[in-house]
Copies of this chain bind each other. A is one copy, B any other.
Amino acid sequence: MTTGEEVLSGQIADGNATWLSRFLTDQGLEVSRRYTIGDRLPELVEQLCTRARSADVIIVNGGLGPTDDDFSAQAAAHALNEDLVLFPEWVQQLNSKFAQQGRTVSERQLKQARLPKSAQILDNPRGTACGFVVQIHRAWVYFTPGPPFELHKMMREQIMPHLAEHLGGPRAAFVKKITTFGIGEARINDLTAALRVPTGVRVGYRATFPYTEVKLMGAGEEAEQQAEAFLPELRAAFGDNVVFEGNASLELRLQDEMIKHGFTLATAESCTGGMIASRIVDNSGSSAWFHRGYVTYTNAAKHDMLGVPNALFDSVGAVSTEVAAAMAAGAVKHGKVSHALAVSGIAGPGGGTETKPVGTVAFGLASPEQLVSMLLQLPNWGREKIRILSATIALDMLRRSLEGVSLEPTSKFLKVVSFQTDKL
């Protein structure tokens, strides 16, 4: 149960609900329903009383803070028909937390130490609002703080042990995930439907832009072994469209491969504007293979920083295989690296022409063996998606190059205008 007008009115995404669902599923606990209710005391009380008659466990998120619209503790007290009382144990924590920052606890902050009488405190080392657990009807009801950073720690360190103690450990559920790029959900479904999925193993699909994931799910050791044995067959069905497995990422996979071979990378980005570099740097350890990036948003920058001949901008334009190839070649040379990726495109909404509409993007890859460049027509799904898709296509070019498979896209969403391979 997540609470908050800001969630219900869509002002913020319900990221905690997503995280909680995934976390509990990964622990083998089945989430049967999710509710979102606003900051309305009677509704929260009603839902608590109703759901506590059928659920084993309810996790309530949010509404523990010091502000006027936080009243989860009050709702719990109503549902329990108890009073709110000041818990000296948490007052002391508040005092010491505030003292560390040289501040004193205000009356408003003290509200966070007022809990229903029968509550048991759940420590929150990362925040000033403690969590708490109460028993309402048949359910254990856990009240958790809104900030994700606090919630995660509390779930792992306080709530899971408490659950295991009071409900017994759940049986181990498993999820095995294959992430693909360049094939759609319907095609994935068809490819999978042609295979014999072991009984006890469920198959799920999920389009998570720009990828499509396939998952094998189930519970128990036997089913997990069967899923494991089935994986190679599934993998083979998707061929070179598999970009990574499990909870890795395309970037992490590249990191492993590049480091293994002692390769190094520079990026040269125009319309993606640093997104490729940033996605790589998002992973710790990236400095071992990613050395530098050139964000060459203007033609002058492409010329100054990468040595792209100015004549090309007039003759073939900045969005061309020639310029992308020159950017990649320049980045390898000036960056003193083994590999370079280059992207130059029209992300829109303006800038499109009849021959090069919005979504026209040129890619370049320089490697020790070759210089590959291609001009693609991406669907005009808007600036943000064009940029994300472009960054992913570029990173996937590098993956394909490292794997020694074809670099030419076959996705039915991408139109290949031209594709070229040269010696560097």
Contact = CB atoms under 8 A, between A and B. Distances in A.
B271 A66 contact: no
Nearest to A413: B101
A232 B79 CA distance: 41
A144 B9 CA distance: 19
A278 interface: yes
Contact of A281 (B20, B66, B204, B297): B297
A18 B25 contact: no
Interface stretch (A161-169, A223-231, A237-245, A288-296): A288-296
B14 A18 contact: yes
A295 B293 contact: yes
A6 B282 contact: no
A10 B20 contact: yes
Interface stretch (A88-96, A298-306, A370-378, A392-400): A298-306
Contact of A147 (B108, B207, B387): B207
Given A292-B297, A300-B291, A17 B18 contact: no
Nearest to A205: B67
Interface in A1-60: 5-15, 17-25, 31-38, 43
Interface in A364-410: 381-385, 387
Contacts of A65: 185-186
Interface in A97-115: 101, 103, 106, 108-109
A327 to B, nearest CB: 13
A15 B13 contact: yes
Contacts of A193: 68
Interface string A126-158: 000000000000000000001101000000000
A412 B296 CA distance: 37
Interface SS, A side: mixed
Interface residues of A, number: 100
Given A108-B186, A204-B69, A11 B269 contact: no
A123 interface: no
Contacts of A422: none
Contact of A292 (B68, B186, B286, B301): B301
A229 to B, nearest CB: 22
Contacts of A382: 149
B101 A412 contact: yes
14 contacts: A10-B18, A10-B20, A10-B22, A10-B31, A11-B25, A12-B206, A66-B189, A67-B186, A103-B412, A281-B387, A290-B297, A291-B300, A292-B297, A294-B294
A317 interface: no
Contact of A10 (B6, B23, B204): B23
A83 B29 CA distance: 36
A21 to B, nearest CB: 3
A307 interface: no
Contacts of A271: 281
Contacts of A17: 10, 14, 36
Interface in A250-287: 267, 269, 271-278, 280-282, 284-287
A25 B13 contact: no
A354 interface: no
Interface in A200-231: 204-208, 213, 215, 217
A348 interface: yes
Contacts of A296: 292
